[in-house]
A = this chain, B = another copy of it.
Amino acid sequence: MNDTTSPSSDLLQVDAPHRELLDQVLDKWSLHVLDELCGRPLRFNELRRTIPTIGQKSLTTTLRRLERNGMIERVVLQARPVAVEYRIAAVGNTLNELIDALLRWTTDNLPEVERARERFDAED
């Protein structure tokens, strides 16, 4: 009855919302932003400085999407000129250990990956 040849793969089917969620949370910039905000709340331009290569357009897009998914909160502080702070939300914080695990994985396996790349690039 149980298909042992197939992993949890069905969750990743393209029409499945699981897939969409991972795409919106693990993408290039989101992962980085979440990692920063898990450390402490940051303002818009603080984030820009922390992630120097992100454009403000991409940062805005990323923040809006993370906010929509409930991963972060946008807090308008009373100040002049406008001050906005972004903080990790409860759900977002549950990703913290997963992100750490991913970073640990890269640290542990990067040497072997680099050897693999050299082998591959030297072929034929």
Interface of A toward B, CB cutoff 8 Å: 5-9, 11-12, 14, 17-19, 21-23, 26, 28, 31-32, 35-36, 38-40, 50-53, 67-70, 91, 94-95, 98, 100-103, 105-110, 112-117, 119-121
Contact = CB atoms under 8 A, between A and B. Distances in A.
Contacts of A70: 112-113, 115-117, 119-120
Q: Top 6 closest A-B pairs, CB basis?
A: A70-B116, A7-B39, A18-B106, A68-B120, A14-B53, A5-B40
B18 A69 contact: no
Given A11-B103, A94-B108, 17 more contacts: A5-B39, A5-B40, A8-B100, A9-B32, A9-B50, A11-B107, A12-B31, A18-B106, A21-B106, A22-B103, A23-B28, A26-B102, A91-B112, A91-B113, A91-B116, A94-B109, A98-B102
Nearest to A97: B101
Indicate how many identical chains form the complex.
2
Contact of A109 (B8, B91, B101, B108): B91
A48 to B, nearest CB: 13
Contacts of A102: 22, 26, 98
